[in-house]
Each structure stands twice: as structure tokens, then as C-alpha cells.
Copies of this chain bind each other. A is one copy, B any other.
Amino acid sequence: MNFSIIRVARTILNVTDLDKSRAFYVDALGFIETERTDEHIYLRGLEEAHHHSLILQKAENPSVEAIGYKVEKEEDLNELEIFLKSKGMKMKWMEAGTQHALGRTLRVQDISGLPMEFFCKMDKAERLLQRFDLHRGSRVQRIDHVNCSVPNVQKAHDFYVKELGFVCSEDTIDEAGHLWATWLHRKQTVHDQAFMNGVGPKLHHIGFWLPDPLAIIHACDVLASLGYAQSIERGPGRHGLSNAFFLYLRDPDGHRIELYNGDYLTSDPDNEPIHWDLDDPRRQTFWGAKAPDSWFDEASVVLDIITREEVLLEDPILEKKKPEFMI
């Protein structure tokens, strides 16, 4: 490859009520509001030195406009364009300034139909890591990963690994030997991007990194105090996969957020992927608790990068089941 992707960097969520969303993300979860306009709220975590990692965008219906990746240098965007054009993928450029606080951006409907974007420059913002007086709620530090539901995990996996340079840290194989789910990274954590077998393309959840396990417990307490107990969908618990301590939440529009802490360094080229067997009970959720049906059945629809219509959904190629160790 002639380009270098750094990491997952942001997501644009369409939400139906900015005030309701702000109460959830800022007042309860403790995201920092970098900026707010009539149509947008720009949020970042306490560690983040860029303008935002999450955009809440006013819309008629909940959906996902884009999942954004940061590349190493401007030229990488040109190389990515050449490569993606060679694959015949639907693309568009958004010139610098078209999107607030962002340099020029290449949008593409990826191999699974997901609306991805690549950019190099985002305005900087103050890292508030040492403004402990501003730490609230879950004390969100930074975006960690996105997890998407797609009909053909093997196809998505191959494209991201062989064509885009992602590395697999862990995966899940069904009894017939098919790839059921895969955890892929560019930065040196367990993942930037996960794909799992399901109706899709959909965004299953966005994972945010927290400073320590007690921040997740405090997040539950604050959420419950503010009337958001119903927003806690699953957890807290320990993932077998990735080893992270986790909590899954549903925002006021149903978008799923994961609070996440405790995976491991994946810097080494000889790091061997961990293979989990879909039906091995020992590999299920580490503490044994079951995920609720909603966690398997619901996810956020995504938009076409050109028409802004919802992307049509397809059924997964592997029989649908409910493994309990997915993260």
C-alpha cells in the first residue's frame, strides 16, 4: 500500500433532539463540548487534542452519516483515491472547510456499504487530561473503536487487512470454520474496527476509552442518578475477547456506546491473533453473563455518501445466532 491509516478518529451520528443528546453525552457521560451550533454538537474526550471525535448532527431520523479515519499525511488521501477508484468504489471528495474543523476528506462507501471517510487534518483543541476538575460522569478519555454489523465478515476482513493494511488481533470462527467476527487495528490497541456477522451494513457501537474500571462503575451510578438506568443495555462486565472491562449504553436515539477499559498493547508484528470458537462455552463473556436480545438485534442504520438515503440492508451469509462473547 502507498498510504498509511493512523486510527479511527470520529463518527457522525444523526440524532433527533440535540438537547436530549447533549444531556446524555455531556451532562451524564462527561464528554467535553468543544463547540455547539444550531445543527451540530462537537464532542471530544478528556485526552483528545483534536476538535472532536463525535458529532451529534440534528436530523429527522437517527442514522450514521460517516465513520472517519485519520491518515498519516495529505498525500495518503490521493493514494487512497487512486486505490479505491481502481476498485470501482463509490467515492466523493469534501474539500477542506466543507466540514467544520476538518481538512479535505475522501468519503467512500466501503466494501460492505459502510460510509467511511478519510482525512488528515483536524483542528487541534486543548488536551484536558490534567483538568481533573472538569472530569465528569464516565470521564471519557478518547475514541477507541467502532464495531459494525455486516452480512459478509470475511469479505470485510479481507478488504481491511489486505487492501487497507489493518491487522487482526482477535477473531471468532463458527463451527464450520467460517469467520464470524474480526477485530482489526491500525493503532496499537486491540482494535480500531470490528466487524461481526449480522444484518448490515450497520454501526453496532462506538467504543470510548475510560481511564480505569471504577470510571465505569461511577458512570453507571451517575447515569442511574440522572434517570438513565434504562440506557444501560449490558454490563458492566469483562470481555473475554480483548480483556476489556465494558459497559454498553443506548443513547436517546438508540445509538449504542461502549465504555471500555483494559485491553493490551498490539505493537508487535509477531503478535498472534487469538482465535475464539463461536460455540466454546469457555470463550463466552468472561464472567458468564448473557447479553440481552436487543444487543444482537439492534444497530444504527448508515447513510449513502451521495444520496444521504439509508443504505439497504442485507441478511448475513452465516446463519444468525447469538454468541455471547462478542464485543
Which residues of A (100-159) have their CB < 8 Å from a CB of B? Answer: 121, 124, 127, 129-135, 137, 141-142
* Known interface pairs A212-B212, A269-B72; A286-B130 also in contact (CB < 8 Å): yes
Residues of B within 8 A of A230 (CB): 288
When each residue 259-293 of chain A gets 1 if its CB lies under 8 Å from chain B and 0 otherwise, what string results?
00010110111111000000000001011110000
Would A268 and B70 count as touching, CB distance under 8 A? yes
Would A49 and B272 count as touching, CB distance under 8 A? yes
- When the two chains form the complex, which single residue of B49, B137, B188 contacts A187, counting CB atoms closer than 8 Å? B188
Chain B residue at smallest Cβ distance from A7:
B267
- When the two chains form the complex, which single residue of B72, B129, B225, B236 contacts A130, counting CB atoms closer than 8 Å? B225
Residues of B within 8 A of A237 (CB): 220
Chain B residue at smallest Cβ distance from A133:
B225
Q: How far is the CA of A145 from the CA of B324 in the complex (A)?
A: 34
When each residue 209-220 of chain A gets 1 if its CB lies under 8 Å from chain B and 0 otherwise, what string results?
001111001101
* Known interface pairs A187-B188, A236-B236, A286-B130; A269-B224 also in contact (CB < 8 Å): no
* Known interface pairs A130-B286, A264-B47; A73-B272 also in contact (CB < 8 Å): no
Residues of B within 8 A of A226 (CB): 133
Q: How far is the CA of A50 from the CA of B270 in the complex (A)?
A: 10
Residues of B within 8 A of A232 (CB): 287-289
* Known interface pairs A217-B245, A236-B236, A245-B217; A229-B265 also in contact (CB < 8 Å): no
User: What number of copies of this chain does the assembly contain?
Assistant: 4
Min distance, Cβ A274 to any Cβ of chain B, angstroms? 8
Residues of B within 8 A of A174 (CB): none
Would A221 and B286 count as touching, CB distance under 8 A? yes
Which residues of A (16-59) have their CB < 8 Å from a CB of B? Answer: 27-28, 47, 49-50
Residues of B within 8 A of A245 (CB): 217
Q: Is A255 an interface residue (CB 8 A)?
A: no
Q: Is A318 an interface residue (CB 8 A)?
A: no
* Known interface pairs A187-B265, A211-B262, A224-B132; A288-B217 also in contact (CB < 8 Å): no
Min distance, Cβ A177 to any Cβ of chain B, angstroms? 24
Chain B residue at smallest Cβ distance from A216:
B217
Q: How far is the CA of A240 from the CA of B243 in the complex (A)?
A: 29
Residues of B within 8 A of A284 (CB): 229
Q: Is A6 an interface residue (CB 8 A)?
A: yes
Residues of B within 8 A of A271 (CB): 49
- When the two chains form the complex, which single residue of B47, B131, B236 contacts A225, counting CB atoms closer than 8 Å? B131
* Known interface pairs A217-B245, A222-B132, A267-B187; A229-B49 also in contact (CB < 8 Å): no
Min distance, Cβ A95 to any Cβ of chain B, angstroms? 20
Residues of B within 8 A of A188 (CB): 187-188, 267
Q: How far is the CA of A133 from the CA of B232 in the complex (A)?
A: 16
- Ranked nearest first, the 8 interchain pairs of A and B with the lowest CB-CB distance are A229-B288, A132-B221, A132-B225, A212-B212, A133-B225, A187-B267, A188-B188, A132-B222
List 5 A-B residue pairs with CB atoms under 8 Å apart, sorted by A's residue number: A6-B267, A132-B222, A189-B265, A213-B214, A220-B237
Known: A135-B221, A187-B265. 14 other contacts (CB 8 A): A6-B269, A7-B267, A73-B269, A124-B270, A130-B225, A135-B222, A141-B264, A212-B212, A217-B217, A220-B238, A221-B238, A224-B238, A229-B284, A232-B289
